Structure 1
């Protein structure tokens, strides 16, 4: 058995669920990750990322951001690419995982496939009504024709189940950082400074500026940003001298940087239009033993954590108070407990769940 993970995602950049799942699968199976297309004449570029892991990057005469929103372009792309993939994997025992909400023609080329979603793609961005209608159509067709569906948020599972009852929750998983040695953990001794870290795609649209500025009002806070910073986000920060930007970090460099931090945060707007959002970054924080302060989004309210490991805030004032509390309460025992939580919810464990579903339906 081998896997094709078909995406509409660029390979380079902070790892998302589809990257993390693919890497976990590659520990046991051959995986081909199909990335978003580059612009050029139709073609397929193959790269070996590591043992068992192949990266396929299609080229097509349109940017992927335009292509997947345009019905004729999107479907022409799928007809061309799916034919290529079907021929490439002919005669092989392939499990096809589609994470592209626009890839609705897949059932014409592969008898069985899994649709996996980690966002409410339809409501996540503002687009003209006809584009939203097209996205609704493509995703609904995928959900209906899939062998089974997986979603990282309970809300998405409930929505999909109305179309196809074979829909299940597969929460985001924790990374397995090789540089995190539980026997060598220590509480940070950063003097009077409390190092607070925010990991992810950072911009005004998704990152609540009012809350960030309230956090910076804490006298001894130093805010560390890891990931791409979009638009003019920093121009709206009241105390930018207390902010340190580290750029994009992954793997061991990321884990080592997180180990230097005191408190890790996942702030969102409480009325976030992305009803499928869950905090991927939280699992990366826990994997390094950091106390996580997160917005109590609807999709995390049914998640339960031991006291002192994850703090779920219902408003800005509570969020700021939890940062102070998390730093004050942190202990070696809590750090080890968080790493244990991450280990029990790793992407390896998620692969085990996925394989159980596959065994039932394939």
Structure 2
């Protein structure tokens, strides 16, 4: 029996010809559909200054999602430490728990530029593509933040400075102690209601085999690894987490791994729905800011330069596109190779109804296989 839960990662994409307000309403509709379909978690990502992504305030949207659902766990993947202070993070999730009950997942991620001279994780060292037991692990993509890019501008507007990523350990400790009601100043416990005593599930998210993986493992916390955004480093990320793991919050390592998927009623329909992903993801990686997601016809009619295609080759090659059976097969390979305890899927199409249907088709196929114990 396939007992690995599926969950949803939502970036709140904005389609061409639409608006951020419509994208946000679509998120609430998708969340209701995901709960009906049996997904375990509904997580929101954080992106800024992107016309094609309305998920800039995930901690606000989380509350809206919780208000229109009743059972599915809701959370962030990830709340970026450094963009907001630890006290605010703890109080926000304590407030959400007070309003909607104990079904929130606080995913924390490191962000920002490291201090000058900080060595890169070994997982970013150049190498060729690899196929590991049927899973493509492409050459790692090293994102360099160019001056004048939207990445640099958001850092400026959020008050980021080189090296402030090193605050992560301290802010993480603060959040944990505020939830536990054990944070002290001058020998006295300082409470921060409604954070104090809030039953919030804490996760750490990372893309490389670097500090995030080490911190999550050393504290015995669950870990989120990104195959969808950094497929070339996912195995190093998971391995570093497991190597660093010491019993803490959890007695054993627990990993969720993300994947980009598009499911259609047929392979041909899925291929059609998947059009436009290359230019869209390139607009993010290039630092220009996400474009509104194009229609398939517009994507085909707009030339996509070879150098741009090469810059997102790893993302295109590792997106699982097809009918429900094919995508479920690929997810099973990802689960087997990474040893994932859970899988997190993200789907982006121009048409909202098609996006909802993609999640529904995948959930139905996953549940069918679990019910009959069908091997992949």
TM-score of Structure 1 vs Structure 2, range by shorter chain: 0.3 to 0.5
Radius of gyration: which is bigger?
1
Give the structure-2-normalised TM-score: 0.35
Larger RCO, structures 1/2 (Cα 8 Å, 6+ apart): 2
Give the structure-1-normalised TM-score: 0.36
Instruction: Name whichever structure is richer in helix by fraction.
Output: 2
